[in-house]
Structure 1
Amino acid sequence: MTTQALLDDRYGRTRSPRRRILGWTIVAVLALSAIGYLGWTTFASSAASVTATDTGFTVENDKSVSATFQITGPTGQPVACALEARDEDHGTVGWRVVEYPASEDHTRAFTETIPTLSLATTGFVNACWVP
């Protein structure tokens, strides 16, 4: 044994195997807890998210446009969507918020009319959410 090892052993500066195992156990528990927490928050936020896919639009006249779209969201919860109509200069000329009741269908298709102030060139879903 070296002089340093003898001194460490004499004054108790060496780590016992039990203490080393306890330290690694604490590190493992903290790491697994962090992974579990991150996994749960990722799942919880994605389970309540709503996605919308525009499938088409029809300019009815200079005062309205119809937007056709599908929404995919959580089952058993109501969904609200903001619909928007824009003109050729990309200015907003119409806006409407629609609310849909809870359904057991995961994906649903809708066609909604958006009232406009002037002639629109497009109609689409701006955003959807669970109210």
Structure 2
Amino acid sequence: MTIQQRLDERYGRIPRRSRRIAWIAGIALAALAVGWFGWSTMQTAAAEVDFDDLGYEVRSEHEVSVTFQITSGSRESVACALEALDEQFGVVGWRIVEYPPSDAVSASHTESIPTVAEATTGIVKSCWVP
């Protein structure tokens, strides 16, 4: 063993070739991590469902209709939870509706919600891909 090899071993120096391999491996792992993160982000975004309340109409003491628009990036079925609320924002009626897969990105719907007391508003609580 030469003096240079003894010094390198004592002070933890590694040959240049080993450093180069370590850098290449690190860059490859970083590229894989960035690729996986981008792919998982796109998959999550494609499964999201957005909705917008467009209006409501109190039809009677026991019924409210809600008009809303669904925007979905995926071509899968969508379910929405609808609620009818009274003056104190208490839930007086609710309904879950499901829509079949569609090629359209956005679709407008009007649904009625049966109530147990007179409602003052109707809303979409949430929408999801079941």
**TM-score past 0.5 threshold:** yes
* Structure 2 residue aligned with 1:89: 88
Question: Could you tell me how far 1:29 is from its partner in structure 2?
Answer: 1.2
2:5 to 10, 19, 44: 10
* Structure 2 residue aligned with 1:3: none
Count the aligned residue pairs.
125
User: What residue identity is the alignment partner of 1:34?
Assistant: A
TM-score, normalising length: structure 1: 0.89
> Is the alpha carbon distance of 1:91 and 1:19 closer, same or farther for their aligned partners in structure 2, counting shifts above 3 Å?
same
1:51 aligns with 2:46: no
Question: Could you tell me how far 1:25 is from its partner in structure 2?
Answer: 0.9
What SS does the corresponding residue of 1:42 show, helix, strand or coil?
Answer: helix
Question: Could you tell me how far 1:75 is from its partner in structure 2?
Answer: 4.3
TM-score, normalising length: structure 2: 0.90
Aligned sequence identity (%): 45
Question: Could you tell me how far 1:83 is from its partner in structure 2?
Answer: 0.5
Contact kept? 1:75, 1:105, Cα under 8 Å: no
User: What residue identity is the alignment partner of 2:86?
Assistant: D
* C-alpha distance after superposition, 1:72-109 (max 9, x if no partner): 01343111111011000110001000011111000000
Distance 2:129 2:75 in 1: 11
Structure 1: runs of 5+ lacking an equivalent:
1-5
Contact kept? 1:86, 1:94, Cα under 8 Å: yes
Which aligned pairs between 1:1-131 and structure 2 lie closer than 5 A?
7=3, 9-11=4-6, 12-13=8-9, 14-131=13-130
What is the CA RMSD across the aligned residues, in angstroms?
A: 1.4
Q: 90-99 vs 70-79, which deviates more?
A: 70-79
